[in-house]
Structure 1
Amino acid sequence: MSKKAIIIGASGLIGSELLSVLLHSSAYTEVIALGRKPLNIQNQKLKEIITDFSNLSEIKGQIKADVIFCCIGTTRAKTPDLNSYRKIDHDIPIEIAKIAVENQVQQYHLVSALGANAQSSNFYSKIKGQTEDDLKVLNIPAIHIYQPSLLSGNRKEKRMAEKIALVLMKVIDPLLIGSLKKYRSIKTSVIALAMYQQSLKEDQGIFTYPSDIIKEIV
């Protein structure tokens, strides 16, 4: 059975990996990328909807698919204003999820983060946790939440702190065993492949995958 997907955040680290997987998959015949800028990718399966996400109610008729993948996110360095940060990491994913309910979308896949907790004193973890909690109460048949640890991938922008952290993690990762395995760094390609594979299943319910479980899926 052919599937139609919508992906939000297709230009990002995980989103770009996932988009490539979807476009090369025989299981998906149409992929809609919702984003602020054109991707400059030529593929007969790909359709782009350019939006600044302030007019989602006006384009909700186009947000129809079997599966929605939400890979959108930001950082404090790129978005220092906390209200803008919350809009990107919480408001947009939840508004799209509410439209998904109206349009009877069967699956919603969200990239969150390890340690997401609505009660956390850490702003990043708190926003991720609130987004997860607000998503879980919506009437979507299948909700899949991915909680990766430190991401390993080819970023367009340079982040010196992350580069240093990834070098350190090459040494530390093997030492993280048992319940600590979920803190090992993870490749973005692995996350993308796990999201794709889970989307092919017809399971219903709410599923949460910490970093170590994501690796087991693949």
Structure 2
Amino acid sequence: MKKAILFGASGFVGGYLLHDLLQSDSYEEVIVVVRKPLEVQHPKLKTVIAHYETLAQYQNELVADDVFIALGTTKKKTPDEKIYYQIDHDYPVLAAQLTKANGAKSVLMVSAVGANVNSSIFYVKTKGETERDVIEVGFEHTHIFQPSMIMGNRAESRPLEKVFIGIFSVVNLLLIGKLNKYKGISAKDIAKAMFTAAQQPAEKVKVYQWKEMQHLLQ
């Protein structure tokens, strides 16, 4: 059986992904890297308490076959662009580098639709640079997931986001053909798609938008 490591287990997608990994017979151990202990207990679960600044000190504990990265923040939560970039770019790239150096074969990462290194929009450009730099780490298989609006009920209150989710519930019906990549998708389904992709034969680099994620959910 394989070992998995998950960065972002306390997040929206990461929480669902952790559940799927722990319930699976495909993994004998699931390592989570978090800033504080989770309220989850399981025989297969190993917790590494670390911050970005100290992550390299724990490299010997970051040994797995499959690496799942579901890290990220929001402009509201992190208005400082320097800190935002550290969370959305530097941390995922460092996680990829450390685990690849330990022999990990595959990395599966949540990004965002429209990610583009040439964009003038900070958020979009950051996502694009993160994708580029994780791909350059050189895993045998790199899976990039690009959701649009992430649907579902978060533990934290985001009133404006709830409004957009309501809008997307209607707009989704109109987004057909080439526009379907902008359809909203639930955090639970993103997690399931990531888990499923890790169990299948893969290309060197594969990008999954709404349509590709739907295929994994069938």
* TM-score, normalising length: structure 2: 0.97
| Corresponding position of 1:91 | 90
- Structure 2 residues without counterparts, runs of 5 or longer: none
Matched position secondary structure for 1:32: strand
| Corresponding position of 1:182 | 181
| Corresponding position of 1:23 | 22
Deviation at 1:201, TM superposition (A): 2.0
In structure 2, distance between residues paired with 1:83 and 1:75: 13
| Corresponding position of 2:134 | 135
In structure 2, distance between residues paired with 1:45 and 1:167: 37
- Aligned residue identity for 2:186: K
Dislocated runs of 4+, deviation >6 Å = none
| Corresponding position of 1:196 | 195
Deviation at 1:163, TM superposition (A): 0.7
Q: What do residues 39-63 of structure 1 show as CA deviations (whole Å, max 9, x unaligned)?
A: 1111101010011121122111111
In structure 2, distance between residues paired with 1:54 and 1:110: 20
Residue-pair matches, total: 217
User: Aligned runs of 1:95-110 on 2, under 5 Å?
Assistant: 95-110=94-109
Matched position secondary structure for 2:68: strand
In structure 2, distance between residues paired with 1:180 and 1:204: 25
User: Aligned runs of 1:149-168 on 2, under 5 Å?
Assistant: 149-168=148-167
Percent of paired sites with the same residue: 41
Q: What do residues 27-50 of structure 1 show as CA deviations (whole Å, max 9, x unaligned)?
A: 111100101011111110101001
| Corresponding position of 2:54 | 55
Give the superposed CA RMSD.
1.0
Kindly indicate which of the two structures has a greater share of residues assigned to helix: 2
* TM-score, normalising length: structure 1: 0.97
Deviation at 1:71, TM superposition (A): 0.2
In structure 2, distance between residues paired with 1:57 and 1:157: 30
Matched position secondary structure for 2:18: helix
Q: What do residues 142-167 of structure 1 show as CA deviations (whole Å, max 9, x unaligned)?
A: 10000001011221111111111111
In structure 2, distance between residues paired with 1:52 and 1:136: 23
| Corresponding position of 1:117 | 116
In structure 1, distance between residues paired with 2:182 and 2:130: 21
In structure 1, distance between residues paired with 2:205 and 2:159: 36
In structure 2, distance between residues paired with 1:154 and 1:41: 19
- Structure 1 residues without counterparts, runs of 5 or longer: none
Deviation at 1:206, TM superposition (A): 0.5
In structure 2, distance between residues paired with 1:127 and 1:29: 34
In structure 1, distance between residues paired with 2:74 and 2:211: 23
In structure 2, distance between residues paired with 1:166 and 1:123: 23
- Aligned residue identity for 1:22: L
Matched position secondary structure for 1:6: strand
Matched position secondary structure for 2:139: coil
- Aligned residue identity for 2:197: Q
Deviation at 1:204, TM superposition (A): 4.2
Q: What do residues 94-124 of structure 1 show as CA deviations (whole Å, max 9, x unaligned)?
A: 1111112211100011100011001111111
In structure 2, distance between residues paired with 1:11 and 1:56: 17
In structure 2, distance between residues paired with 1:164 and 1:101: 40
